[in-house]
A and B are shown apart, each in its own frame.
Chain A
Amino acid sequence: MIQTDRLQSQYRVLKRNKAVSILILALALVFIALISLCSGPFSTGPSRLLHFFYSGSGELGLVMLEMRLPRIATAILVGAALAIGGCVSQAILRNPLASPFTLGISSGAAFGAVLGIVLLGMSSDWAIAASAFLFAIITSFLILEVARLRGSSSETLILSGIAIQFLFSSLSLLIQYLGTMDQVYEIVSWFFGSLSKAGWPEIGIIASLVIPSSFILMRSAWDMDILLTGDEAAKSLGVNVRMLRLKGIAYASLITAAAVCFTGVIAFICLISPHIARMIVGAEHRYCLPASALSGAILVLGADTLGRTIWSPQVIPIGVMTSFLGAPFFFYLLIKKTRSYWSC
């Protein structure tokens, strides 16, 4: 009895620690968002920021409402979406290297963008985003169809994802090869990723796809935990493994497509953020999913804030900055953490 009480007490402490860790991550995100809100060519110290929140008008209001806040909102949404996509992919495929990139979703989106820029001559950002989104979704359908035909084992899904990734990468290169100088330039910019293009309407679309999908995925958190013990064990505990995989891939694809279609490819986030989250809160998905979302948002927002301020007025592409920031931090956590963080 005493033993059970002690275990219950330990579990409560563990739960509380995880909740506190998530709270700290959320506070860190708010802190970085405030720094980002105060950083830029327009001088906005805390006093001017307070004035903006009080009045909300004038040139400062315009900078805040039309430029900085949309950028911050895009960074948070895109970072969270990519991280959740990565976390879900890794869980349902039981592979620490799985991500929407591994499954070919990003390659599909990139192919859609390249196709839009070169062959369809699309000059509007919306048209390019629509093409990228469409091909990201087509890619996920391809993977789901392979899974339907050949069974939805994690090996089948990963291998078909890799094949699709190479196929779309080659097709993108071919179309890029056929492009003119300016088209190649546009494609390279898309591959670097940029948060400048997303305004409030784009944010509305990203949010309307990412937020509900994330909540739906959160509802499967327990099933994902059980799946980590193995397919057979999960089946014996009543988890519909096949359905969970299909659902996971479909929603992870949807939120990744929504994230990358307006901003271009932002590498590394979907791979690294779930690992950072697991190192902080463990592999339980009801904690790991929100922690991943917060880690991804912090990484993208931090990378963008640094990228647009350290070499101002030049902006270092977000895709470059996320790897610069993420890789050393990841190494640090790997070295500091001695215990295995993969299992629940």
Chain B
Amino acid sequence: MRFYNNNLLYLLGILLLFGAGTVFGQDFQTVTDARGHTVQIKRDIKRIVVLNRSALEVIRILGAQDLVVGVSDSVKDDPVFFREFQDRPLVGRWMEPNYEKIVSLKPDVCLAYALFPGPELEKNLKIAGIPVLRIDLYKMSSFEREIRVLGNILGKNEPALNFLKWYEQQLGLIKKLVKMEKARGQRPPRVYSESYSPYKTEGPGSGSYQLIVLAGGEPISSTMSLEFADVTPEWILAGQPEVIIKKVPKMGYSQDNPAFLDRIKMDLVNRPGFGAIRAVKNGRVYCMASDISSGPGKIVGLAYLSTWFYPDIARFIDPEVIHREYLERFQHMPYRGVYVSSPGKLL
């Protein structure tokens, strides 16, 4: 009798453990974030806090806006583009949020950039059992994987795949056209890409560098060992770039004045000694708003870059048409704004 009782208890214990394991296995999923770390996230996500504004743009693509229960200041600072999120609770700064506020919103997951905020985000939210998923969405190399991860955890695989299908179509076309141009004997132009600050360029590994290489350009910063670094004006002149790309830290969607990027372009071409740079002499200096140089809208930026590097590509693709489709079909917003500077030399 005792033998049977012991075995029964043992069997019950195994069943309980197995059952719990099955329940946990069903409720949680393991995903890999932008840093390569694995994160356990609930399967049925109902509430999200978003600190990464590009992630919020993807959430709109996936049609998961209703799940957002808290946003960072960068979303509140852009009421034209993120109009439907203006009534969502503010959780503080994107790089230093209010942890108590996040906890009080009881999210199932918090979406943040790979590096910001620091590890204190996980440390503070771990106490309340809130996992942090870090995603970048600005690097071409990891962009598609990150869209799939978001689609998967939010249960929006179909919209994610729809978007990726369109994205891959555009990307494939651009790559094919660039390849054709190279096959026709067109030499890749040498490109100087400047980040938001003057004389700050982007090296291998950065999002802009990857974008330029994909568009068929040859960055003059290819020998750099840092992703972002200060350089001297003389180094730019010695590199004799044929094209200069200036990233502007402003959203183009909320801009009405077409001259806002032209002023920045004028400042750049009028820097001491820049008149002798090939790109300036030939009027191949372009400014690009941040909406199309990072995040999901960068496919539009890629289209612009390819037409700037190989003007013949403009016969086959119109970046504005791609942008219009992106905004109307995936962001459900009308096309408007100023995203690139006027072509050619400015008077």
- A interface residues, Cβ below 8 angstroms from B: 40-42, 59, 62-63, 66-68, 70-71, 123-125, 177, 180-186, 189, 194, 196-197, 199-200, 308, 312-315, 317
Contact assessment for B77 and A196 in the assembled complex, using a CB-CB cutoff below 8 Å: no
| B231 within 8 A of partner (CB) | yes
Please give the distance in Å from B142's CB to the nearest CB on chain A. Answer: 19
For A41, the chain B residues whose CB sits under 8 A away are 232, 234-235, 237-239
- B interface residues, Cβ below 8 angstroms from A: 74, 77, 93-96, 195-201, 221, 223-226, 229-235, 237-239, 249, 264, 267, 271-273, 276, 290
B96, B199, B233, B238: the one contacting A177 at CB < 8 Å is B96
Please give the distance in Å from B338's CB to the nearest CB on chain A. Answer: 15
Most chain A C-beta atoms within 10 Å of own C-beta, residue among B196, B224, B230: B230
B195, B230, B234: the one contacting A40 at CB < 8 Å is B234
Instruction: Compute how far the CA of A314 lies from the CA of B228 in the bound complex, rounded to whole angstroms.
Output: 9
For A42, the chain B residues whose CB sits under 8 A away are 234, 237-238
Please give the distance in Å from B28's CB to the nearest CB on chain A. Answer: 32
Contact assessment for A66 and B226 in the assembled complex, using a CB-CB cutoff below 8 Å: no
Please give the distance in Å from B50's CB to the nearest CB on chain A. Answer: 15
Instruction: Compute how far the CA of A30 lies from the CA of B238 in the bound complex, rounded to whole angstroms.
Output: 25
For A189, the chain B residues whose CB sits under 8 A away are 197, 200, 230
Please give the distance in Å from A171's CB to the nearest CB on chain B. Answer: 17
Please give the distance in Å from B306's CB to the nearest CB on chain A. Answer: 25
Please give the distance in Å from B221's CB to the nearest CB on chain A. Answer: 7
Contact assessment for B234 and A63 in the assembled complex, using a CB-CB cutoff below 8 Å: yes
Contact assessment for A314 and B231 in the assembled complex, using a CB-CB cutoff below 8 Å: yes
Most chain A C-beta atoms within 10 Å of own C-beta, residue among B77, B195, B273: B273
Please give the distance in Å from B15's CB to the nearest CB on chain A. Answer: 52
Q: What are the nearest 3 A-B pairs in CB distance?
A: A182-B249, A66-B273, A41-B238
Question: Do A196 and B237 form a contact, CB below 8 Å, given A67-B273, A181-B94, A313-B224?
Answer: no
Contact assessment for A70 and B272 in the assembled complex, using a CB-CB cutoff below 8 Å: yes
For B264, the chain A residues whose CB sits under 8 A away are 123
For A312, the chain B residues whose CB sits under 8 A away are 235
Contact assessment for A67 and B93 in the assembled complex, using a CB-CB cutoff below 8 Å: no
B200, B273, B290: the one contacting A62 at CB < 8 Å is B273
For B195, the chain A residues whose CB sits under 8 A away are 185
Question: Do A194 and B234 form a contact, CB below 8 Å, given A67-B273, A200-B272?
Answer: no
Contact assessment for A186 and B196 in the assembled complex, using a CB-CB cutoff below 8 Å: yes
10 additional A-B pairs beyond A199-B271, A314-B229, beta carbons within 8 Å, are: A40-B235, A59-B276, A63-B237, A67-B234, A123-B267, A182-B249, A196-B230, A200-B272, A313-B235, A315-B229
Instruction: Compute how far the CA of A125 lies from the CA of B196 in the bound complex, rounded to whole angstroms.
Output: 13
Please give the distance in Å from B180's CB to the nearest CB on chain A. Answer: 32
Contact assessment for B249 and A180 in the assembled complex, using a CB-CB cutoff below 8 Å: yes
Contact assessment for A67 and B232 in the assembled complex, using a CB-CB cutoff below 8 Å: yes
Q: Which residue of A lies closest to B273 (CB)?
A: A66
A183, A200, A315: the one contacting B230 at CB < 8 Å is A315
For A315, the chain B residues whose CB sits under 8 A away are 199, 229-232
Contact assessment for A67 and B272 in the assembled complex, using a CB-CB cutoff below 8 Å: yes
Instruction: Compute how far the CA of A67 lies from the CA of B277 in the bound complex, rounded to whole angstroms.
Output: 13
Contact assessment for B272 and A66 in the assembled complex, using a CB-CB cutoff below 8 Å: yes
Contact assessment for A180 and B237 in the assembled complex, using a CB-CB cutoff below 8 Å: no
For A124, the chain B residues whose CB sits under 8 A away are 267
For B231, the chain A residues whose CB sits under 8 A away are 313-315
For B235, the chain A residues whose CB sits under 8 A away are 40-41, 312-313
For B196, the chain A residues whose CB sits under 8 A away are 182, 185-186
Contact assessment for A314 and B272 in the assembled complex, using a CB-CB cutoff below 8 Å: no
B96, B197, B223: the one contacting A313 at CB < 8 Å is B223
Instruction: Compute how far the CA of A199 lies from the CA of B233 in the bound complex, rounded to whole angstroms.
Output: 11
Q: Which residue of B lies closest to A312 (CB)?
A: B235
Instruction: Compute how far the CA of A199 lies from the CA of B198 in the bound complex, rounded to whole angstroms.
Output: 14
Contact assessment for A62 and B237 in the assembled complex, using a CB-CB cutoff below 8 Å: yes
For B226, the chain A residues whose CB sits under 8 A away are 314
Q: Which residue of A lies closest to B232 (CB)?
A: A308
For B276, the chain A residues whose CB sits under 8 A away are 59, 62
Q: Provide a sorted-by-A list of 22 A–B residue pairs whose CB atoms are within 8 angstroms.
A: A40-B235, A41-B232, A41-B238, A42-B237, A63-B238, A67-B232, A67-B272, A67-B273, A123-B267, A181-B74, A181-B94, A182-B196, A186-B197, A199-B272, A200-B272, A308-B232, A313-B221, A313-B223, A313-B229, A313-B235, A315-B231, A317-B230
Q: Which residue of A lies closest to B221 (CB)?
A: A313
Instruction: Compute how far the CA of A199 lies from the CA of B223 in the bound complex, rounded to whole angstroms.
Output: 27
Instruction: Compute how far the CA of A196 lies from the CA of B226 in the bound complex, rounded to whole angstroms.
Output: 19
Q: Which residue of B lies closest to A202 (CB)?
A: B272
Contact assessment for B199 and A194 in the assembled complex, using a CB-CB cutoff below 8 Å: yes
Instruction: Compute how far the CA of A164 lies from the CA of B271 in the bound complex, rounded to whole angstroms.
Output: 36
For A68, the chain B residues whose CB sits under 8 A away are 234
